[in-house]
Chain A
Amino acid sequence: AQKVTQAQTEISVVEKEDVTLDCVYETRDTTYYLFWYKQPPSGELVFLIRRNSFDEQNEISGRYSWNFQKSTSSFNFTITASQVVDSAVYFCALMDSNYQLIWGAGTKLIIKP
């Protein structure tokens, strides 16, 4: 079965702290894609990253970084030096062999000033 688990329902940290959002997935496919999206209070879904199953290189983009570990079926997302504007719901998603996105439940991140 294809499944994405974001075990952290809500995380609250103080500004400038580092925070890691966990994502664990299950799939039988050998080729798949993993995504992270941000949904701020305004409601839009903002694409952050796509990672292919055959590319395990970690990615860094400014204060954002992603750690893809096939051995543990995880694709975790870290925000360094968090800012209030990072407050949002973050979704991890898996694209399966049917090219459909399977979504995690989302993690609500609250950054306090």
Chain B
Amino acid sequence: DAGVIQSPRHEVTEMGQEVTLRCKPISGHNSLFWYRQTMMRGLELLIYFNNNVPIDDSGMPEDRFSAKMPNASFSTLKIQPSEPRDSAVYFCASSKFTPLGQKVTDVFFGPGTRLTVL
């Protein structure tokens, strides 16, 4: 089985440019998470989707960040315009859970996208 797939693996851009990060979750998983990791703040949850619906986006820093999940196999995280403080590693993760039964499977992370904004 393929794991969580993220692209690009590295992105270097200039301040003010639009950045789009992509994620393909594990097939059959119904939950998808976007995380950001920095030395200063550690791992931060940005947003999570369940069955393609955004459930909690309280971690999205500001309006410059937006995330979509048009179908069960694809999600994007967009930053427009990007700023140097957005430089971080962005992880996508997926899992499968059923809220009614409160059953959770393992949460697997993609390899991450290292974003550098100059």
Report if A and B associate in a common complex.
Answer: yes
Residue of A47, A50, A99, A100 touching B109 (CB-CB under 8 A): A47
A66: min CB distance to chain B, Å: 14
Q: Give A44's nearest chain B residue, CB to CB.
A: B111
A interface residue numbers (CB < 8 A to B): 31, 33, 35, 37, 43-47, 50, 52, 91, 95, 98-101, 103, 105-106
Decide: B112 and A43 in contact? CB cutoff 8 A.
yes
* B contact residues around A95 at 8 Å (CB): 104, 107
Residue of A31, A33, A43, A52 touching B89 (CB-CB under 8 A): A43
Residue of A43, A52, A103 touching B114 (CB-CB under 8 A): A43
* A contact residues around B42 at 8 Å (CB): 103, 105-106
Given contacts A43-B112, A91-B43, whether A35 and B56 have CB atoms under 8 Å apart is no
* 19 A–B contacts from the bound complex (CB under 8 Å): A31-B102, A35-B106, A35-B107, A43-B89, A43-B111, A43-B112, A44-B109, A45-B91, A95-B104, A95-B107, A98-B56, A99-B48, A99-B55, A99-B99, A100-B48, A101-B33, A101-B43, A101-B45, A105-B42
